[in-house]
Amino acid sequence: MDTTSHFEHKERRILALLLVVGVAVVIWWGPTLQFNGMRLYFPDKNGKSLKLEKRPIAPLGNFEEKAKDTVEELLLGPLSRNLQPVAHVDISLARVVAGKNALYIDFTTKDLPSFSSEYAMFKAAVTKSLHDTIPGNFYIYLYINGTLAR
């Protein structure tokens, strides 16, 4: 009987510890998990990596409208001085079309040769921003001047 009560007492301590850890996790990461605004990624000062900038603007509407709002906000540029715009050429959003589990996004630019050098960082910023802002698993296809960009 003494062994059984000792085991039950130990079990209660473990449950209490798990409960305290659970509450601590919710308090520590709760605000981050509950954030439902836009998560936009911009190149850092050096242009070598992407940094997160949160905006308290929640994209509303269907899948297509949320994507359009997110990309338009991304094209406006960062609010922080420590970040750079996603593109240094004049680029605009032509259209966003949502398909079965996919987004087709078409951009227009007149200065395609200058944009070519920035394309890898631009694509990474658009893709990461859309996936972090809009929940779900979907593919993103980017078009530049009506041509699928790779």
pTM of the model: 0.75
Q: What pLDDT is attached to residue 108?
A: 94
pLDDT digit string, tens, across residues 34-76? 557 899 999 999 888 999 999 998 888 999 999 999 999 999 9
Fold of 37-148: GMP Synthetase; Chain A, domain 3 (3.30.300)
CA distance 122 to 100: 24
Q: Do the beta carbons of residue 85 and residue 42 sit within 8 Å?
A: yes
Domain boundary assignment for the chain: 1-34, 37-148
138: exposed, middle or buried (C-beta count within 10 Å: 0-12, 13-18, 19+)? middle
